[in-house]
């Protein structure tokens, strides 16, 4: 079983045990293991109670109520990258590779519980911590930075150069997303996961846009 598969399995199991009651207001922890990881389990607070670079806040309690819970886990894969591979080839190599080494990259898993049911949310990693204002979290994290900001060019604003975690919630308002990219975050430059009001556009001039920022989760990405 590859590291990615194992992590996904472990996280899927962890999701079966989280509940709003299990989420302490500040259950943020960093794991200093050889594969650096970040793990955050938070209940959303009103934006007026934003606390520096900790916790999660909601700017729209109709879509993301203060009873909702978010789990974000990052796994940084330090392995070597063997040439140009597509995502499915990368997973196959992780599964069956002769090198016994997972590929280099960053895996992020997100789970939401108790947000707006049957709704499509655009979700991305942003560069700044959450704050009292929706725009506190700054622009999207980009591996290759678009010289033109705000970035709406699909050459830069895409889910291979940014970390996108869009979800569609079920009838209970629960959802999960995961994404695997080929790069690592630059230290201190990826600080939050932002939930937007609708799905993320991929069209020229609108790429990466997903409407208003409705909630934000601080994550100390490694
Ligand atoms: Cu965003």
For residue 207, what are its two tokens? 């790429």
pLDDT at 45 over 50: yes
Choose between 185 and 80: higher pLDDT: 185
* Ligand 1 center to 72 CA (angstroms): 15
Q: How confident is the model at residue 79 (pLDDT cuts 50, 70, 90)?
A: confident
pLDDT at 91 over 70: no
* Ligand 1 center to 92 CA (angstroms): 30
Euclidean distance between CA atoms 179 and 172, whole angstroms: 23
Average pLDDT over residues 132-147: 97
- Predicted confidence at residue 103, as pLDDT, reads 79
- Predicted confidence at residue 110, as pLDDT, reads 98
Euclidean distance between CA atoms 117 and 104, whole angstroms: 35
* Ligand 1 center to 199 CA (angstroms): 10
* Ligand 1 center to 208 CA (angstroms): 7
Average pLDDT over residues 65-83: 86
* Ligand 1 center to 95 CA (angstroms): 31
Q: How many angstroms separate the Cα of 219 from the Cα of each of 76, 80, 84, 155?
A: 14, 26, 29, 26
* Ligand 1 center to 99 CA (angstroms): 36
Euclidean distance between CA atoms 112 and 119, whole angstroms: 12
Helices assigned H by DSSP within 61-151? 87-96
**Residues in a beta bridge with 106:** 76, 181
What pLDDT digit, counting tens, does each position of 144-178 carry? 999 999 999 999 999 999 999 999 999 999 999 99
Asked if residue 155 lies in contact with residue 203, where contact means CB atoms within 8 angstroms, the answer is no
* Ligand 1 center to 173 CA (angstroms): 20
pLDDT at 100 over 50: yes
Arithmetic mean of pLDDT over the chain: 83
* Ligand 1 center to 209 CA (angstroms): 7
Instruction: Give phi and psi for 9, each to the nearest 5.
Output: -65, -45
- Predicted confidence at residue 125, as pLDDT, reads 98
Choose between 20 and 64: higher pLDDT: 64
Asked if residue 197 lies in contact with residue 63, where contact means CB atoms within 8 angstroms, the answer is yes
Sign of CA dihedral 194, 22, 30, 45: positive
* Ligand 1 center to 195 CA (angstroms): 7
What percentage of the chain has pLDDT greater than the value 90?
Answer: 69
Q: How confident is the model at residue 26 (pLDDT cuts 50, 70, 90)?
A: very low
* Ligand 1 center to 49 CA (angstroms): 21
Q: Which residues surround ligand 1, an ion (CB under 5 A)?
A: 124, 194
| CATH number of 106's domain | 2.60.40
Structural domain containing residue 68: 3-218
pLDDT at 138 over 90: yes
- Number of domains observed in the structure of the chain: 1
* Ligand 1 center to 140 CA (angstroms): 6
- Predicted confidence at residue 31, as pLDDT, reads 41
pLDDT at 3 over 80: no
- Predicted confidence at residue 180, as pLDDT, reads 96
* Ligand 1 center to 126 CA (angstroms): 6
Q: Find, among 184, 3, 194, 31, the residue nearest to 112 by Cα.
A: 194
Q: Find, among 105, 98, 103, 100, the residue nearest to 76 by Cα.
A: 105
pLDDT at 102 over 70: no
Q: Find, among 10, 24, 71, 72, the residue nearest to 221 by Cα.
A: 72
Q: How many angstroms separate the Cα of 132 from the Cα of each of 5, 25, 56, 135, 216?
A: 37, 17, 11, 9, 10
* Ligand 1 center to 211 CA (angstroms): 9
* Ligand 1 center to 143 CA (angstroms): 15
Q: How confident is the model at residue 87 (pLDDT cuts 50, 70, 90)?
A: low
Asked if residue 201 lies in contact with residue 216, where contact means CB atoms within 8 angstroms, the answer is no
């Amino acid at each position: 079983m590859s590291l990615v598969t194992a992590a996904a399995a472990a996280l899927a199991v962890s999701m079966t045990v989280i509940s709003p009651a299990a989420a302490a207001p500040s259950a943020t922890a960093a794991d200093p293991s050889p594969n650096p990881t970040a793990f955050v389990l938070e209940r959303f607070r009103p934006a007026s109670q934003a606390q520096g670079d900790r916790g999660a806040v909601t700017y729209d309690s109709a879509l993301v109520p203060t009873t909702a819970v978010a789990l974000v886990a990052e796994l940084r894969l330090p392995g070597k990258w063997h040439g140009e591979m597509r995502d499915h080839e990368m997973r196959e190599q992780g599964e069956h590779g002769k090198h016994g080494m997972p590929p280099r990259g960053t895996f992020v898993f997100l789970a939401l519980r108790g947000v707006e049911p049957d709704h499509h949310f655009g979700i991305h990693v942003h560069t700044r911590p959450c704050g009292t204002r929706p725009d506190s979290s700054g622009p999207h994290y980009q591996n290759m930075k678009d010289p033109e900001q705000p970035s709406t060019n699909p050459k830069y604003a895409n889910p291979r150069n940014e970390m996108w975690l869009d979800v569609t919630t079920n009838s209970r308002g629960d959802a999960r997303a995961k994404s695997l990219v080929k790069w690592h975050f630059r230290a201190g430059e990826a600080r939050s996961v932002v939930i937007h009001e609708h799905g993320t556009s991929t069209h020229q001039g609108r790429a990466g846009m997903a409407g208003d920022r409705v909630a934000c989760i601080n994550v100390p990405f490694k």
